[in-house]
Amino acid sequence: MSGLAENGSSVEAESSGEGALADAWIPDPELSADLPVPDFLTEDQQQLYRAAYRMYYHFSMSGGFALDRSVSIQGDNERTFYLDKGFESYSAFQKALESVFTEDYANRLRNDTQLYMDDGNDRLFSSPGDRGGNIDYVSTSFELVSQSAEELTFHLIGHYREDAGFGEKGGSAKETTQEYPIHMVRTENGWRFDNFAMAF
């Protein structure tokens, strides 16, 4: 019988291993090697979180996994897309995407960013869209909001320090926090995120 430990974590261990599978399918493991993870998630859910972070990173911070700039096509949005060898095919990319996110959330990410496309031959093409992070970012913490056998909601809390009066005598640092909601649901294929966020 499952229940909650004092720290809010599930007493019953996850046995499906979907986090481990997703972690193996999504490239760039170094991106999440030292990533802080919620301690109220099971070990497998923590792996799922790390894998989701890497996939989300390539939508919010950097478009593309392993671009071959010698092969390009023009997209409908008039942007240039390059062959992306991070996955062996567009189908493999989609499988990896849906190994961490719900189908609806995966579709929303693709449609909102328009960074990835299928060339019609099941080849993945990406349009680079690198952006800088928040230079005031300091750290991340987590707060559990609700947890049941079917869904889990928590806040990712970004901690920031902005130098007020930088370079002036008597200048000080202003510390702020911002909460970002993250939501997980149990689907027929296991746990998936249907909302995700990064603090920087």
pLDDT at 146 over 70: yes
Over range 44-55, report the average pLDDT: 96
Residue 78: predicted pLDDT = 83
Mean pLDDT of the chain: 87
- At 48, give phi and psi (nearest 5°): -60, -40
pTM of the full structure: 0.85
**Residue 87: both structure tokens together:** 């996955």
Determine which of 11-15, 17-21, 81-85 has the lowest per-residue pLDDT on average: 11-15
**Cβ distance 88 to 66 under 8 Å?**
no
Confidence at 99, pLDDT banded by 50, 70, 90: very high
The domain ranges of the chain are 18-126, 137-195
- 3-class secondary structure for 75-87? CCCCCEEEEECCC
Over range 30-48, report the average pLDDT: 95
pLDDT at 7 over 70: no
- At 121, give phi and psi (nearest 5°): -120, 25
| Phi-psi map region of 117: left, alpha, beta (phi>0 left; psi -120 to 50 alpha) | beta
Strand, coil or helix: what is 70?
A: strand
pLDDT digit string (tens) for 77-95? 788 999 999 999 999 999 9
Residue 136: predicted pLDDT = 83
Q: Which residues of 20-41 are buried (b: 16+ CB within 10 A; e: fewer)?
A: ebbbebbbbeebbeeeebbebb
